[in-house]
Amino acid sequence: MKDFGLKKLYYSISEVSKLTELEQYILRYWETEFEQLKPSKNRAGNRIYTNSDIKLILQIKKLLRDEKYTIEGAKKILSDPNNNTLAHSKKYIPKVKSSVTKNTNVRSLKRDLEEMRKFLVDLRSKI
């Protein structure tokens, strides 16, 4: 998780909204969609978020906004017990089929695609 400069045990929804750059209504909506996101409430009934809640929100944001998953797709990834939001992306990079054709243009294209796939896998591992 990023270092937000605030060192607290609990954050209000307005603080989390600023930290994650998400509107408060989006945070409330995600609570209804993602069972893992259940911030506690204080005696006044206000939501209080922990650092792990904020980390989860940032994972959800990354899946939905950066990786372009649907809510259902993000739910599947987050419900996976072996969830690693960076590692999951690797399995969606297709491999080039191993069948070899006699056409040299196709071979060259396959070689270029395989190099590009390796580059993308390597790039994902560095993120």
Phi, psi of 114 (to 5 degrees): -65, -40
Higher pLDDT, 116 or 74: 74
Taking CA atoms, 85 is separated from 61, 92, 115, 123, 124, in Å, by 11, 12, 24, 14, 11
Q: Which CATH architecture has domain 1-81?
A: Orthogonal Bundle (1.10)
Type of residue numbered 97: K
Domain ranges of the chain: 1-81, 93-127
Give the burial class of 15: count Cβ atoms within 10 A of its Cβ; 0-12 exposed, 13-18 middle, 19 or more buried. Answer: middle
Chain segment 23-76, per-residue pLDDT in tens:
999 999 999 999 999 999 999 999 999 999 999 999 999 999 999 999 999 999
> What is the reported pLDDT for 70?
94
pTM of the model: 0.61
Neighbours of 11 (CB within 10 A): 22
